[in-house]
Amino acid sequence: MNKVYAVGIGPGGREFFTEEAMQALENADVIAGYTVYVDLVRDLFPDKEMYTTAMKQEIERCRWAIETAKAGKSVAMVCSGDAGVYGMAGLLFELADQYGDVEIEVVSGVTAAISGAAVLGAPIGHDFCLISLSDLLTPWELIEKRLRCAAEGDFAVCLYNPRSKKRSDYLEKAVKILMEHKSGDTVCGWVKNIGREGQEYRLVKLEDLPGEPIDMFTTVFIGSDSTRIISGRMVTPRGYEKRSEFQR
């Protein structure tokens, strides 16, 4: 069967793997992906063929998976979090279209926004959006526009790829744009190494985010106007407090 599974394995530890992800890895003849993610599953399947590539080799990696599937072996392409959220799922569909006769099956995983939110409390309990600050594939002007619209729409915002060595000032620029419509006091939080060794988090004000030790292994949460700190946790209420039964 000519099949490529796009498998999200969650943020890190085994406890985040879904049963469906495990089954896809078991079913596949080859497990492929960025070295760091393949290493996370290597000891579970010691006898399985593995194919790893360096970061930023996405097109080559996906083409290899499709060509290998076409040659008769099923391939599981592992991604962190969810394969469809800044992952390989979309690219696999786009490339498979050039070949035909290859099936892509997406296996959902726990994306960093979801696993990180659980660490902080309930920061995305109402309308929210995800924005990546990486301009490798997206023009910075479009990222700015989306930040501005998200702030104007009073969304809670999760930022992926918030800062790297090359893009050290992007978070600062993003905060400046968000503050055109959001107060500097807006409740925010960040979580680093979610589900991995060294997990840490902190709650901070929007205006203080740029000074925080945020890097590319961090997901940043920016509250909406109604986001509050309740018992030390970041919570975006959904509106239940307006109901009469809420009062005791």
Q: What residue ranges bind ligand SAH (CB under 6 A)?
A: 11-12, 79-82, 85-87, 111-112, 116, 160-162, 191-196, 216-219
How distant, in Å, are the alpha carbons of 34, 117, 146, 150, 173 from that of 130?
23, 12, 10, 9, 17
How near is the Cβ of 70 to ligand SAH at its closest, in Å? 25
Q: Which is nearer to ligand SAH, 55 or 71 (CB)?
A: 55
Q: Which residue, judged by CB position, is nearest to ligand SAH in the bound state?
A: 81
Tokens standing for residue 40: 């996370």
Q: Which is nearer to ligand SAH, 66 or 79 (CB)?
A: 79
How near is the Cβ of 152 to ligand SAH at its closest, in Å? 23
Q: Determine the Cα–Cα distance for residues 90 and 76; give it in Å rounded to an integer.
A: 15
Q: Which is nearer to ligand SAH, 85 or 175 (CB)?
A: 85
How near is the Cβ of 240 to ligand SAH at its closest, in Å? 29
How near is the Cβ of 160 to ligand SAH at its closest, in Å? 4
Q: Which is nearer to ligand SAH, 104 or 191 (CB)?
A: 191
How near is the Cβ of 33 to ligand SAH at its closest, in Å? 11
Q: Which is nearer to ligand SAH, 46 or 198 (CB)?
A: 198
Q: Which is nearer to ligand SAH, 2 or 32 (CB)?
A: 32
How near is the Cβ of 101 to ligand SAH at its closest, in Å? 27
